[in-house]
Amino acid sequence: MFKKENIFKVFLLFIFMFSGLQMFSQNNKQRALETRIQELREEIRKINTLRIENKSKEKSQLSLIEDFNYKISVLNNLIKVTNQQANLLTREINSNQKKITNLRSELTQLKEGYAAMIVKSYKSKNQQSRIMFLLSSNNFQQAYKRIQYIKQYSNHQKQQGETIKAKTVELQSTNTNLLKQKENKQKLIAENRNTQKLLEAERRQHEVLMKSIKKNINVYTAQIKKRQREASRIDAEINKIIRAAMASSNRKVGKSSSSKTFALTPEEKILASKFVANKGKLPWPVESGYVKLGYGTQRHPINKSLTIKSNGVRIATKKGAKVLAVFNGEVIGVVAMRNANPFVIIRHGNYITYYKNLSKVYVKKGDKVTTKQQIGEVFTNRFNGETILNFSISKESSPQNPASWCYKM
């Protein structure tokens, strides 16, 4: 059976450990929010840089709406994350204020106890009083205990002094942290106000543009549908190439060429497993840029009755941007279709990556490529100045979300 004081000690240890874990969790959350804010600020900077570069170009209204929609979503995210950061700081400030109150109370009690101990010590400080205290002992054992008591009392005085000193330092440190947190919170609030103003300005421009578009909605709907038909035509050609590659891999090992999966060699199995092991860590297919259109089925920003089925992502980048292979593999297709810019298909075991809308291609079918090798250059539209890379990933013919595979996409 545990004694009562042992149970109490275990309880105090548990409270201490729980408080430590809670503080560690809060610090981790704080760092994660700070990192996310930096990422969003960087994304806004990239958007603004590309806007300035293309300022002299006359963009189509479809393209402008996409730009506005994307920047508005990033600004909304920045406001949301900044609010989370401010709320977390508020909780930490409240926690620190409680801690300061408790520390001040503890410090007062310690000082009062220490003062009483000093007074008591002063009254019996002369050597004669101590000798008399010892000589009045009934026996040697009692005298020994009194000597030990005098030593313990002296040590206790020193410990109390050290405790007061440590508590004072802790109080000063907590006060400094509190002031810093309050300053950081004010900065976040000021940043949020500026972001709100930017957001409102973007929304006003968006509304003006949408009013203009709605006057000719049929014309824009026809343009959208034309784009979708072109995308479907390219996807059909890609599927044809993938099926042919699957059939070829199966014929080599004597399997049915109608199989809908790749027949992998031992080397290709290793390559595929390495590709999977790098999920979330693959490099971007361009050195810099931002995702203008994400993966998945979504409502069209202009005509809500239409949907966009995006099997990959559209990355806005700078003029002359080089296209990089995201992993080791083999080029299984370099295609130049009528009324469409060239694209490259690279196989990584049973995983495929696609790089569409190129102006130059540096590789040919059958080439072995390595991670971050330059395989081409992104096409820049000379009318609107846009440089957009369409990038996709699939497992066999099943589309994957590139944001799940590329680092911080």
Residues 293-304 have pLDDT tens digits of 889 988 877 777
User: What DSSP element (H or E) covers 332?
Assistant: strand 329-335
Task: Give the other-Cβ count within 10 Å of 186's Cβ.
Answer: 12
Q: What percent of the chain has pLDDT over 70?
A: 81
> What pLDDT band is residue 1 in, cutting at 50, 70 and 90?
very low
Q: Let me know: does 82 contact 24? Beta carbons within 8 Å.
A: no
Question: pLDDT at position 128, please?
Answer: 47
> Considering the domain boundaries, does residue 239 fall inside one?
no
pLDDT tens per residue, range 308-327: 888 999 999 999 999 999 99
Last residue of a domain, one of 196, 215, 234: 215
- 3-state SS class at 360: strand
Helix 217-252 and helix 140-215: axis angle, to 10°? Answer: 120
Query: CA 71 to CA 49: how far, in whole Å?
Result: 12
- State the CATH number of the domain containing residue 312: 2.70.70.10
Closest C-alpha to 248, from 225, 268, 271: 268
Question: pLDDT at position 297, please?
Answer: 87
Closest C-alpha to 64, from 385, 281, 390: 385
Cα end-to-end span (Å), the chain:
57
Question: pLDDT at position 155, please?
Answer: 67
Q: For residue 398, what are its two tokens?
A: 């099943």
How many domains would you assign to the chain? 2
What is the rounded average pLDDT of the residues 325-346? 94
Q: Do both 40 and 132 map to the same domain?
A: yes
Predicted confidence (pLDDT) at residue 357 exceeds the cutoff of 90:
yes
- Predicted TM-score (pTM) of the model is 0.63
> What pLDDT band is residue 26 in, cutting at 50, 70 and 90?
low
The dihedral sign for the CA sequence 227, 233, 234, 235: positive
> Considering the domain boundaries, does residue 295 fall inside one?
yes
What is the rounded average pLDDT of the residues 105-126? 67
- DSSP conformational letter for 284: P
For residue 276, what are the domain limits?
Answer: 264-405
Q: Do both 311 and 162 map to the same domain?
A: no
pLDDT tens per residue, range 187-199: 888 888 888 888 8
Last residue of a domain, one of 215, 234, 256: 215
Q: Do both 62 and 159 map to the same domain?
A: yes
pLDDT tens per residue, range 362-372: 999 999 999 99
Query: CA 227 to CA 235: how far, in whole Å?
Result: 12
Query: CA 347 to CA 241: how far, in whole Å?
Result: 11
Place of tokens 């990033």: 74
> What pLDDT band is residue 10 in, cutting at 50, 70 and 90?
low
As a dihedral over the C-alpha atoms of residue 94, residue 97, residue 98, residue 103, rounded to 10 degrees, the angle is 160
What is the rounded average pLDDT of the residues 155-163? 70
Q: Do both 194 and 271 map to the same domain?
A: no
> Considering the domain boundaries, does residue 237 fall inside one?
no
- Averaging pLDDT over each range in 80-89, 116-125, 137-146, 261-270, which range is the top one? 261-270
> Considering the domain boundaries, does residue 117 fall inside one?
yes
Query: CA 221 to CA 227: how far, in whole Å?
Result: 10
